Homo-oligomer: A and B are copies of this chain.
Amino acid sequence: MNYLEMDKKSLEQRFEVIKGMYQDFLSANLHLDMSRGKPSAEQLDLTTDLLTAVKSERDCLTQDGTDCRNYGLMDGIPEAKELFAEFLGVTPAEVIVGGNASLSLMYDCVSWGMTHGYLGSTPWSKLDRVKFLCPSPGYDRHFGITESFGIEMIVVPMLEDGPDMDMVEQYVNHDPAVKGIWCVPKYSNPEGKTYSDEVVRRFAALKPAAEDFRIFWDNAYGIHDLYDEGDRLLSILDECKEAGNPNLPFLFGSTSKVSFAGAGVAAMGASEENIAYIKKLMFYQTISADKINQLRHVRYFKNMDGIRAHMKKHAAILRPKFEMTLETMEEYLGGKGIASWIHPRGGYFISFDTLPGCARRTVQLAREAGVALTPAGASYPYGKDPNDTNIRIAPSYPPVKELRLAMELLCVCVEYAALEKLLGEAN
B interface footprint on A260-278 (CB within 8 Å = 1, 0 otherwise): 1111000000000000000
Whether B286 lies near A263 (C-beta < 8 A) is: no
Q: Taking the complex as formed, is A163 at the interface, i.e. its CB lies under 8 A from any CB of chain B?
A: no
Whether B285 lies near A104 (C-beta < 8 A) is: yes
21 examples of A-B residue contacts, CB within 8 angstroms: A48-B56, A48-B57, A51-B59, A52-B52, A69-B260, A69-B261, A70-B261, A71-B261, A99-B99, A101-B287, A101-B288, A114-B125, A115-B125, A123-B125, A125-B125, A144-B284, A148-B281, A260-B292, A262-B288, A263-B290, A263-B293
Stretch binding the partner chain, chosen from A37-45, A186-194, A360-368 = A37-45
Whether A51 lies near B54 (C-beta < 8 A) is: yes
Cβ–Cβ < 8 Å partners of A52 in chain B: 51-52, 55
Cβ–Cβ < 8 Å partners of A45 in chain B: 57
Cβ–Cβ < 8 Å partners of A39 in chain B: 70
Whether A69 lies near B44 (C-beta < 8 A) is: yes
B interface footprint on A103-140 (CB within 8 Å = 1, 0 otherwise): 11001000100111000000101100000000000000
CA of A71 to CA of B287, assembled, Å: 25
B-binding residues in A (CB < 8 A): 36, 38-39, 41, 44-45, 48, 51-52, 54-57, 59-60, 67-72, 99-101, 103-104, 107, 111, 114-116, 123, 125-126, 141, 144-145, 147-149, 256, 260-263, 281, 283-293
Whether A38 lies near B70 (C-beta < 8 A) is: yes
Q: How far is the CB of A253 from chain B (nearest CB, A)?
A: 15
A51 and B292 in contact, given A67-B41, A70-B261 (Cβ under 8 angstroms): yes
Rank and list the top 6 A-B pairs by shortest CB-CB distance, nearest first.
A125-B125, A148-B284, A263-B292, A44-B69, A69-B260, A107-B285
CA of A284 to CA of B151, assembled, Å: 13
In the complex, which residue of chain B has the Cβ closest to the Cβ of A126? B125
In the complex, which residue of chain B has the Cβ closest to the Cβ of A99? B99
Q: Quick one: which of B99, B104, B284 contacts A100, CB cutoff 8 A? A: B99
A71 and B115 in contact, given A148-B284, A284-B148, A290-B99 (Cβ under 8 angstroms): no
Q: How far is the CB of A49 from chain B (nearest CB, A)?
A: 9
- Binding site secondary structure of chain A: loop
CA of A290 to CA of B263, assembled, Å: 5
CA of A101 to CA of B70, assembled, Å: 12
CA of A256 to CA of B292, assembled, Å: 13
A141 and B284 in contact, given A263-B68, A292-B260 (Cβ under 8 angstroms): yes
In the complex, which residue of chain B has the Cβ closest to the Cβ of A70? B261
A100 and B289 in contact, given A41-B67, A125-B126 (Cβ under 8 angstroms): yes
Q: How far is the CB of A22 from chain B (nearest CB, A)?
A: 30
In the complex, which residue of chain B has the Cβ closest to the Cβ of A284? B148
A69 and B263 in contact, given A51-B292, A141-B284 (Cβ under 8 angstroms): yes
Q: How far is the CB of A351 from chain B (nearest CB, A)?
A: 20
Cβ–Cβ < 8 Å partners of A284 in chain B: 107, 141, 144-145, 147-148
Q: How far is the CB of A235 from chain B (nearest CB, A)?
A: 27
Q: How far is the CB of A276 from chain B (nearest CB, A)?
A: 16
CA of A59 to CA of B52, assembled, Å: 12
Whether B287 lies near A103 (C-beta < 8 A) is: yes
CA of A141 to CA of B288, assembled, Å: 13
CA of A125 to CA of B126, assembled, Å: 8
Q: How far is the CB of A144 from chain B (nearest CB, A)?
A: 5
Cβ–Cβ < 8 Å partners of A290 in chain B: 99-100, 262-263, 290, 293
CA of A260 to CA of B291, assembled, Å: 10
Q: How far is the CB of A123 from chain B (nearest CB, A)?
A: 7
